[in-house]
Structure 1
């Protein structure tokens, strides 16, 4: 087990970048909207043909006497691709203005970061994902250094499903009082002494499945570099000692019931902690009850 030593980057003011949780909406571009409607209920073959036409990749499907010359098809596809990317970026910039505070800001935005941002975000056409990219942009402009380029690269590879999973796991995450480290409590332990070496009550486990998080989803989060899959351990606490966490804006206090008790948890990576800033506080009401029942042998939870 790894001890709790790593720290994630400093958190910007939450009210500037915190957002509503992810929800599915329509594609922003009108052309894509009509395309989605036209393919609804179609066979896979017809949907593929519609996408090929939309992205100018249907040239070889036409009779030879009706085909546009290959070079012209390349030019047309490149032109439409650049138009789509321009539309995507303009939409993200427009959305981000709503998340930027209308107040003086002495921090200077990094043009190199912004340039890299545009390259990573230019192909994002889904409205929900555009909203998240807009919040990243607003958070970085307001507090430079909030989102690293490494985090942007990871976020680019994430799907809407991945974003929803991040939102779900954030509803279970706690932070320390400095709000720098995020973690998902997974159990507790008591270091056995000579008299309790063979006791069966030295460990307790939090069944995260009861809150909708399976081990497969934890693997997915780890694959996206959002959490460390290996559980970490806190320092051992003596009887009566307390550890206080911030749980989605609320205090969560755990008090040790015996000597040499500690907690186990999955830690968010620095990238995961940064991207978690995009998700608003949305506590899972069942988590506190689950922690009370799961950890009662070692900790009282309030």
Structure 2
């Protein structure tokens, strides 16, 4: 039975369903926003009263107070992430049956996250998992739990280089000196050490048709190879490839397109000598 108070307003039916599933899994109790301050004040008073009733002294009292304070903060974090995730869902979304073990693992990894930006990231994961069960592995959850805010911002920045082709693929552009434009070696090395990308001398996208498509955010591109030989139907993408964990995180990290980067890449690829042409066909 859910302990949640559904007297608050503003959530869609799928949002309410998600909160109910979280309640069933971890026993969360969410107080409506309008009484949150009152509830917190009452909780503080009850905590003090409880410690007094236990007749604890010295180190035992301090330990009990520390435990209660820590668990209260964790509860606040859990509720904040849950409500943000629920608010991400609209009436058109279909909420799937999230595995309860996954929910428990999810909150175990994020219950100590207090940074608002990082909570927003965790909330995106929960809402996307609600829409499509199995979208995020436990390995991804463990990795996210170790990220600093600065590392998360680097991942979000890197997302501007990522296209939707056969799968999510970064395309890095080299300048005349062979240096990658827009990101340096140290940043790529950091992404590699985090497990977001793996680096090599160079990767390519291989197609099975002479004409195909790829997307850059909401911009649809037509890809057309000039050769009739299928061995030439490939596009060099650079030195970085997303790992499976990297693909999961990039999909929800909040990256935005960089149109200057896009323009540079299209000018570079659409030369007379290039074996392929990539042209914009639709802007959604």
- Common fold, TM-score beyond 0.5? yes
Measured after TM superposition, the shift of residue 98 of structure 1 is: 0.3
Q: Which has a greater percent of helix?
A: 2
Alignment of 1:15-34 (within 5 A): none
Alignment of 1:142-181 (within 5 A): 142-176=131-165, 178=166, 181=167
Indicate whether 1:120 and 2:90 are aligned.
no
Aligned match of 1:290 in 248, 264, 270? 264
Per-residue CA deviation, residues 183-210 of structure 1 (Å, 9 max, x unaligned), is: 222369xxxxxxxxxxxxxxx887433x
Alignment of 1:31-180 (within 5 A): 69-102=58-91, 105=94, 107-176=96-165, 178=166
Per-residue CA deviation, residues 7-41 of structure 1 (Å, 9 max, x unaligned), is: xxxxxxxxx9xxxxxxxxxxxx99xxxxxxxxxxx
RMSD, aligned CA = 3.1
Per-residue CA deviation, residues 234-293 of structure 1 (Å, 9 max, x unaligned), is: 34899xx44532111212345446674641332211111111221446211112232244
| 2:214 aligned partner | 245
| 1:264 aligned partner | 237
What is the TM-score of this pair, normalised by structure 1? 0.62
SS in 1 for 2:143: helix
Aligned length, in residue pairs: 216
- Unmatched segments (≥5 aa) in structure 1: 1-15, 17-28, 31-67, 189-203
Greater RCO between the two (CA within 8 Å, min separation 6)? 1
| 1:199 aligned partner | none
